[in-house]
Amino acid sequence: MKSAVLPGDGIGPEIVAEALKVLERLRGNGISIETEVAAIGGAGYDVAGQPLPEATLGLARQADAVLLGAVGGPRYDALPRELRPERGILAIRKALGLFANLRPALLYPELSDASTLKAEVVAGLDLMIVRELTGDIYFGQPRGRRSNAAGEAEGFDTMLYSASEIRRIARIGFEIARKRDRRLCSVDKANVLDTSILWREEVTAAAKGYPDVELSHMYVDNAAMQLVRNPRQFDVIVTGNLFGDILSDEASMLAGSIGMLPSASLDANNKGLYEPIHGSAPDIAGQNKANPLATILSLAMMFRYTFGRPDLGARIEGAVRKVLGAGLRTADIALAGGPSIGTRQMGDAVVSALSSYP
């Protein structure tokens, strides 16, 4: 097995380093995983003039899995869109066909005090957002800038889904719901958008193959509201690229901090790219302050989904819980005025918890 490691920018290299410590500790459990590092995002632009250098894409293509940190930073903000760091992530998702983005939002009981929402609203939270990742307004054509008849500048993008794109992500949503509480909520804006009307028709048609899963539909504005009103009503949410981007950031706060949420982006054969859902946090980069747990939990997802080792995934997750249970916190999840530890100390704590975890 081979994993490409793409640290990226900002806090990316620091948090990835901690996940690699965890990987190192797990060696010798009947797994041999080779790793190779390459540049993406601003780092890719610096070394090769492109946010997704050819060599990086080549490595990612031949690897079984990709571990990614984060991309972006103020140094690259003035670049044209095609050269911006974010473009590197979007391009690798598209090139590898990683259409299914799984974003679990799980509140560890040890962190019920870290959410900005009342503890009784978020207690027991365990939901999964299944976000379509290679279509929608992110990739639809045409897009661009033009002048209108009055000579005024206009910017435009195209929201677009084909029936087959909707059906394949719907099936992933149903399959995942089947392994959980068997409830799938499809989120769209079918009261306004043609794309969403097709979305709803296709998801409804796909439901015929999953009579054991209860399907519901919700408009995205209502879903945004329901997520903070009563998040435990959800089991699995399936939605398009743009709505999923927004709702998954919202859901991260239910789980205490965006620094806690991992993600997996899978192709049709479970090849996956694993990354925290948070960004590169340039304001705290290089200061040993970032929370590495979302990246470490992304590694756990890699063991579950690509390497077929749910036992090792569970072991990593168990070690994270143990560390949180011992009261260890990085600044983002610390109690107001309470003590916090740094990125490296958090990584070390997880590694030592792994050693004692059965």
Output the smallest distance, CB 176 to ligand IPM, in A: 19
Q: Which residue has the tokens 């903000």?
A: 77
Output the smallest distance, CB 72 to Mg ion, in A: 11
Q: Which of 76, 161, 189, 322 is catalytic?
A: 189
Residue 189 annotated among the catalytic residues of the structure: yes
Q: What residues contact residue 195 under an 8 Å CB cut-off, 6+ apart?
A: 136, 159, 160, 161, 240
Residue 45 annotated among the catalytic residues of the structure: no
Asked if residue 67 binds ligand IPM (CB under 6 A), the reply is no
| Binding track, positions 253-292, relative to ligand IPM; x by CB under 6 A | ------------------------x---------------
Asked if residue 18 binds ligand IPM (CB under 6 A), the reply is no
Residue 138 annotated among the catalytic residues of the structure: yes
Asked if residue 188 binds Mg ion (CB under 5 A), the reply is no
Asked if residue 136 binds ligand IPM (CB under 6 A), the reply is no
User: Nearest residue by C-beta to Mg ion?
Assistant: 245
**Choice from 5, 40, 89, 328 touching ligand IPM (CB under 6 A):** 89
**Choice from 90, 137, 207, 285 touching ligand IPM (CB under 6 A):** 90
Hey, is 54 helix, strand or coil?
helix
Asked if residue 245 binds Mg ion (CB under 5 A), the reply is yes
**Which of residues 23 and 255 has its CB atom nearest to Mg ion in the complex?**
255
Residue 2 annotated among the catalytic residues of the structure: no
Tokens of 90: 């979007």
> Closest Cα to residue 38, out of 62, 61, 5?
5
Asked if residue 126 binds ligand IPM (CB under 6 A), the reply is no
**Length of the chain in terms of residues written:** 358
Output the smallest distance, CB 90 to ligand IPM, in A: 6
**Choice from 245, 259, 260, 341 touching ligand IPM (CB under 6 A):** 245
Contact of 239 with 131, CB cutoff 8 Å:
yes
> Closest Cα to residue 275, out of 77, 139, 131?
131
Contact of 106 with 236, CB cutoff 8 Å:
no
Q: Which does 89 bind (CB under 5 to 8 A by kind): Mg ion, ligand IPM, none?
A: ligand IPM
Q: What is the dihedral of CA 329, 335, 337, 339, to 10 degrees?
A: -20
From CA 27, how far away is CA 49, in angstroms rounded?
Answer: 35
Tokens of 6: 């793409």
> For 55-111, where are the E strands, in sequence order?
65-70, 100-106
From CA 304, how far away is CA 60, in angstroms rounded?
Answer: 19
Q: Which of 126, 249, 267, 348 is catalytic?
A: 249
Could you tell me which stretch among 31-39, 133-141, 243-251, 313-321 binds Mg ion (CB under 5 A)? 243-251
Residue 64 annotated among the catalytic residues of the structure: no
Which helix (H) or strand (E) segment holds residue 164: the answer is helix 163-178
What are the residue numbers of the active site?
138, 189, 221, 245, 249
Contact residues: ligand IPM, CB under 6 A: 86, 89-90, 245, 277
